[in-house]
Structure 1
């Protein structure tokens, strides 16, 4: 006991009288010194490889070209739970929902396990699968290999490209144009495409394609044509919008490019507006020194104003546009003889409610008229006077005093169109899709009193003497038209179908039916407009295309009836040494 007490006492005394150890070698590093010595965020920068940082920047930039939200927002908005024992795969969309081709998930043996549209999460059992997506035939589709893990949702980063082609005429009016699309890198045709008809609530379909250079051809053109085409380059992951200007009469391509004529500025997250104003002032002068008094000076002023307002919040879409085209001949500054060139006011509005991805009712309205009176000036080099005739072509009088006559008043004619209907996808499978449009349309036209120009031989000369008849050849003849009103109404429907013929061919058809009720009751004898196309790639260098069109119109007036069909066959050869 005494020994333990003495040992404890010695330990306490050793601790009380012990000395401090000598200093450790080196310098003490403080927090300030650490922050000064190491560059800001360098540890974070070194931990991310250069390739990953470039890839992240690339993907951030390409998402800015999409009409759809970024990938992260799309995945967050999808409410889907991955069941126990399965994994998920998410394919992002580049545009609005339901506007891109569906994709398929197949295994190594070709068995399909799931399918859907981009922007949805599909669940399958863990394993290795192949994603088949894109436009064109089965051979032209894009294939991506993915490995699905249990309880995880894997997003597929898009390395493919999106292409939207809007077809308009020279007045910036959208219409259902036609074109053909070819990958000129491999001379691989993808078939025929169509623009969107806003009067039927159409939307521009999105092509999902492999990156590369593509040729947009006029209908029936050769793949290596040097006329009637434009080209566009598609980059990985990007959505490219092309504006194609065509002649509605023959579908010839006038011009085009990656131009967005209605980019718009955001008012709020759902509202956008935009406007553009263009004006051209042109002066022309001509002098013929071989003839006396042959100096011609003219000046023209033309202007175009566009304004649009849009609302887009799923599932509602509303868009209204106002367009004004005006042209003036300023050669004669007299307001009484002022002549105009283009003179059109167009107000268009459409509303679409896509409350189901495959079904959406719509309604549209459009007003078209002119704002200024139309005048015609007497060309003294050709005519000596005006000749005015009544609506039945009988002679009325000569006018040699006025140098210009008013043909029509402002707001002449005045046209108001209204329509409503619904678009829905009746069938959408791996090899066949069918879209149906049902609706009704009406049109009201008002024509005030006006004059129109006719040929001199159309005048009824039975009531005039020989002297007056001799003056007709040197007269500008104007016939008076009485004011009229016209109202038309009737239901209309259309069917659009596309078939994938295996790996080497595609076929498409469209049938439009219109059954007017007013002014003629023709519900049992409607009008039909049918067109069908078949594209078959016989070999890599040879493509066979067949087109059939049938138009049937059955009005009561026998002279206005139409019943004709056309057949076109193109056997096209293409070769590239690349």
Structure 2
């Protein structure tokens, strides 16, 4: 038989051409990770008109202009303009150096751009965007700090903070050069093997990480990407999320010699609900968390393991981008009664507010501390969020308002340390003014200052004021040496005197 040239079916070719480009076309642009529209779309939306004899420079935003550091425009090492990302700068035609990014001025990323008359020069980001949300184990955003290092040369980029999103505060977006970064607990050294996390940033991409802290000692207990967006329902301006999580643990022990068998189990469940409504003017937030759990050990009755009801609701009206009044409500309670259990029977004395015995529980194995739904705590607050300053040299945000808290009790008691007396809890009401100020400043090219001042004024008497003022100054002495000075001034409710703490850290780093 003669040789026959193999042919290729047109249908087969069509199928290959149809399927192969899917991988190529499926490669997503880094701009798809942004919260903001793509860069060229932002330029089209920019209302700036370029007059005759002028040109423009445009640096796009990945999230929002207020969340990102401003960019600087230089010519011949002279600062000629600064602007928010997502907005244009009008300049004379010519060559300019544009500095973008977080950290000190020296740490900012420099790009050179040529500006032509009548044209807008777009600088496409080859830097990365990073947002870190700080929460506790209940997924509640908390205002705690962390420190960020560039791992390749041990460069310190400073402090980042969590926010109270329920009061309309917005997480800061870091703009950083791509590479490997390390997040550590403030005060820990760069080489620490505890309370740290690492992450890699890619050019042009925005990534969101979540840092989970222990609410008592602020130690790191989790870090990573929580894909919350895939678990929520979006209906126009509404974002709805509801999920049920459960956990079951069974432990079984057997001693071969004594033939003794022990077992216990714990069952917990959480129903998490969150509703958010966001427009240019309105921001409404409601969160309801129900946490329930029980435990059982051999020879004992089933007992309550966890029991909590939490409701938080906030409304913010943004009549101006720099000012927004807020109103927030919160409720904290429980579904079931609370009991205390003893290892051995004992007599327990129930007292009244005067300290007199009203009842004796004889040979009690357990006593009731409080009925269902009590104690019940309510919190209310009203005030304003202010953006006082937003520039390359100074960022200053202020939240001030009036707060109130009530704790309702009904046949609720506190067991003393010796577990022999029940003392009644008292209904309480606390009202006062509250203020929170957060700021950062690039004092000089190598000097950065951070401050956070939290103040509660229950009364006009200054002795009743409670405040916490945390200040940090970082000076980059050279590429390998930096100096950190931390000053904490605080006044606690239970301690009449003002307390202060000082800490000086000299960081030495050299990559061999």
TM-score over 0.5 (shorter chain) = yes
Secondary structure at 1:64's aligned position in 2?
helix
359, 362, 370: which one aligns with 1:399 = 362
Change (3 A) 1:319 1:73: farther
Determine whether 1:155 maps to 2:90.
Answer: no
**Worse-superposed segment, 310-319 or 135-144:** 310-319
Once the two structures are superposed, the pairs formed by residues 50-129 of structure 1 within 5 Å of their partners are 60-107=28-75, 109-129=76-96
The answer on 1:256 being equivalent to 2:223 is yes
Distance 1:295 1:431, change over 3 A: same
Q: Which segment is superposed worse, 62-71 or 239-248?
A: 62-71
How far apart, CA to CA, are the structure 2 residues paired with 1:83 and 1:432? 30
Alpha-carbon RMSD across the aligned residues, in angstroms, is 2.7
Deviation at 1:312, TM superposition (A): 1.9
In the TM superposition, what is the alpha-carbon distance from 1:535 to its structure 2 partner? 1.0
Residue in structure 1 matched with residue 320 of structure 2 by the alignment: 356
- Given that 2:416 and 2:423 are in contact with CA atoms closer than 8 Å, whether structure 1 keeps it comes out as no
Give yes or no for contact 1:323–1:346 (8 Å, CA) kept in 2. Answer: yes
Q: Which residue of 2 aligns with 1:563?
A: 498
Q: In the aligned structure 2, how far is the partner of 1:323 from the partner of 1:235?
A: 36
1:274 to partner: Cα distance: 1.5
Partner SS for 1:139: helix
Match of 1:546 among 466, 485, 489: 485
- For residues 464 and 252 of structure 2, the distance between their equivalents in structure 1, rounded to whole angstroms, comes to 57
- 2:3 alignment counterpart: none
Corresponding residue to 1:301 among 267, 274, 295: 267
Q: Which residue, 384, 388, 395 being the options, matches 1:426?
A: 388
Q: Does 1:501 align with 2:440?
A: no
Instruction: Quote the residue 1:344 is aligned against.
Output: 308
Shift of 1:122: 2.1
Please, which of 491, 501, 519 is the counterpart of residue 433 of structure 2? Answer: 491
Judging changes above 3 Å, is the alpha-carbon distance between structure 1 residues 349 and 69 closer, same or farther for their aligned structure 2 residues?
farther
Q: Which moved more, 1:386-395 or 1:113-122?
A: 386-395
Name the counterpart of 1:514. Answer: 456
Q: Which runs of 5+ in 1 are unaligned?
A: 1-35, 41-49, 457-475
Would the aligned equivalents of 2:130 and 2:175 in 1 still touch at CA under 8 Å?
yes
Q: Distance in 1 between the 2:246 and 2:196 partners?
A: 28
Is the Cα contact below 8 Å between 1:332 and 1:338 reproduced in 2?
Answer: no
Q: In structure 1, what is the Cα distance between the partners aligned to 2:308 and 2:229?
A: 19
Using the size of structure 1 for normalisation, the TM-score is 0.79
Map Cα deviations across residues 155-200 of structure 1 (whole Å, 9 max, x no partner).
Answer: 2211111111111112222111111000001211011111112465
Question: Structure 1 pair 514/164, CA: closer, same or farther in 2 (3 Å)?
Answer: same
1:317 matches 2:294: no
Report if the CA contact (8 A) 2:168-2:283 is conserved: no
Moved more, 155-164 or 122-131: 122-131
Distance in 2 (alpha carbons) for counterparts of 1:386 and 1:170: 37
1:438 equivalent among 400, 409, 422: 400
Matches within 5 A, 1:16-415: 60-107=28-75, 109-198=76-165, 200-261=167-228, 263-289=230-256, 294-331=260-297, 338-379=302-343, 383-391=344-352, 396-400=359-363, 403-415=365-377
Across the two proteins, how many residue pairs are aligned to each other?
A: 492
Q: Shift of the alpha carbon at 1:354?
A: 3.2
**Contact 2:323–2:385, Cα closer than 8 Å, also in 1:** yes
Structure 1 pair 289/239, CA: closer, same or farther in 2 (3 Å)? same
**Unaligned stretches of 5+ in structure 2?**
1-9, 15-20
For residue 370 of structure 1, report the CA deviation from its aligned partner. Answer: 0.8
Q: Per-residue deviation at 1:374? A: 1.6
**C-alpha distance after superposition, 1:59-82 (max 9, x if no partner):** x53222112223344333332211
C-alpha contact 1:339 1:374 (8 A) present in aligned 2: no
**What is the alpha-carbon distance in structure 2 between the residues aligned to residue 171 and residue 88 of structure 1?**
47
Contact persistence 2:167–2:316 (CA under 8 A): no
Equivalents in 2 of 1:182, 1:132: separation in Å? 20
Q: After superposition, what is the alpha-carbon deviation per residue over 1:76-122, rounded to whole angstroms, capped at 9, x for unaligned? A: 33322111222222221111331100112222x12233321111122
Q: Please, what TM-score do these two structures have when normalized by structure 2?
A: 0.88
**Deviation of residue 441 (structure 1)?**
1.2
**Bigger Rg over Cα:** 1
2:66 is paired with a residue of what secondary structure? coil
Change (3 A) 1:270 1:216: same
Rounded to whole Å, the distance in 2 between the matches of 1:536 and 1:412 is 51
- The one-character-per-residue Cα deviations of 1:288-336 (angstroms, maximum 9, x if unpaired) are 45558x53222211012211112222243222211121111144899xx
Take 1:385 and 1:248, find their aligned partners in 2: how far apart are those partners? 34
CA 1:69–1:372: 2 relative to 1, 3 Å: farther
Shift of 1:363: 2.3
Take 2:427 and 2:229, find their aligned partners in 1: how far apart are those partners?
35
Secondary structure of 1:98's partner? helix
Q: Could you tell me how far apart the structure 1 residues matched to 2:252 and 2:233 are?
A: 46
CA distance in 1, matches of 2:125, 2:451: 31
Q: How far 1:564 moved relative to its partner?
A: 0.9
**Contact kept? 2:345, 2:365, Cα under 8 Å:** no
- Mapped partners of 1:433, 1:398: distance in 2: 60
The 1:376/1:167 distance shift into structure 2, 3 A limit, reads: same
Alignment partners' CA distance in 1, 2:382 and 2:100: 33
